[in-house]
Amino acid sequence: MFARLMLAIVLLVAISICSGWASVARAGVVIDGTRHIYPQQRREITLRLTNDDPAIPRLVQVWLDQGDQTSDPSNSDVPFSLSPPVFRLNPQKSQTVRLVYTQEPLPADRESLFWLNALEIPPRVNTEQGDAPANHLQFAFRIRTKVFFRPTDLPGSPNEAPTQLRWSLRRSAKGPLLQVHNPTAYHVTFNEVALAMGAQSEARLLPAEEGMVAPGGDLTLAVHEAVQTIPADAQVHFKYINDYGTFSTPQRAPLKF
C-alpha cells in the first residue's frame, strides 16, 4: 500500500509539472531528536512528535523497520510495538508515542539498529472557499530517524567507541579510499570525515564521504579529491554524532597504509 502511495505521488508530480498545477508541499511534523536509544532494561521509551504547522492538522502513522526504506506498516517485522500507531496531530501540538520492546531475541553482544518512520498526510484542502487554487497537489511526507537497541552489560561505552576505530588508506583508480573497522559493540555515525595531509593541526584537509560503521563492521569512504602523493604522516580527521545527536569536537587518528 505504501509503495502504491509513493508511486501515485510521483505520477501526480509529473502531471502537475506538465499541467501547470499549483502545489502544496510543506512538511509540518517533526520528531524530537535525530536518534533514540533503547536500553534493554527499560520497559519502554517515549518518542515525541510535533506538528509545527500553525494552521493545518496532520494524520500521522508510525512504524519501525530494519533499514528497508521501501517498508510500510504491513510488512514491518520488528520486535517492537508503537502506541498509538496512527493519530491526528493538531497544529502546534505534540503527541507522545510509546515504544515497547516485545522481548523477541536480539543480539546480546552488540547494538541493533532500527528506523522509526513517521508518515504525515495533510487534510484535503477545500478549494471552494477562500483563495485556495482550483488545481493543487498535496504531498504525503515520510521522515525517518534511528533507534538503537542497546543490550545490557556491553563492553566499553559509546563515547569510547570512536577512539577505538581502526583506520587505513587504500588507493584506487578513482582516488584514495579511507577504510574504517569498528571493533566495538556500538554504532559510530560520522558527521565529517577528511584525509588530513599531515599530522599538524594546520594540515590540508581533503573531504571524504560520511556514513555509519556498524559494530564489528567495516566502511569504505571515498576521498572527494584525487591526489598523487600522500605524506607518510597523513591522518584521518573526523567528527562523530553522539547519543544526544550533537557533533563531537574534531578528532584525529593515525592511518595504516
- Per the CB < 8 A criterion, the answer to whether 87 and 54 are in contact is no
What distances in angstroms separate CA 111 from CA 30, 107, 149, 155, 189, one per listed residue? 25, 7, 6, 11, 13
- Strand-pair partners of 129: none
> How many Cβ atoms from other residues are within 10 Å of residue 196's Cβ?
23
- For domain 161-254, the CATH superfamily is Immunoglobulins (2.60.40.10)
Q: How far apart are CA 28 and CA 13, in angstroms?
A: 19
Kindly state the cell numbers that stand for 137.
497537489
Q: List where CATH 2.60.40.10 sits in the chain.
A: 2-150, 161-254
Q: How far apart are CA 110 and CA 62, in angstroms?
A: 26
Can you give the pLDDT of all 257 residues of the chain as single tens digits?
444 444 333 333 333 333 333 344 456 899 999 999 999 999 999 999 999 999 999 999 999 999 999 989 988 899 999 999 999 999 999 999 999 999 999 999 999 999 999 999 877 666 555 555 555 556 678 999 999 999 999 999 999 999 999 999 999 988 999 999 999 999 999 999 999 999 988 899 999 999 999 999 999 999 999 888 999 999 999 999 999 999 999 999 999 98
- For domain 2-150, the CATH superfamily is Immunoglobulins (2.60.40.10)
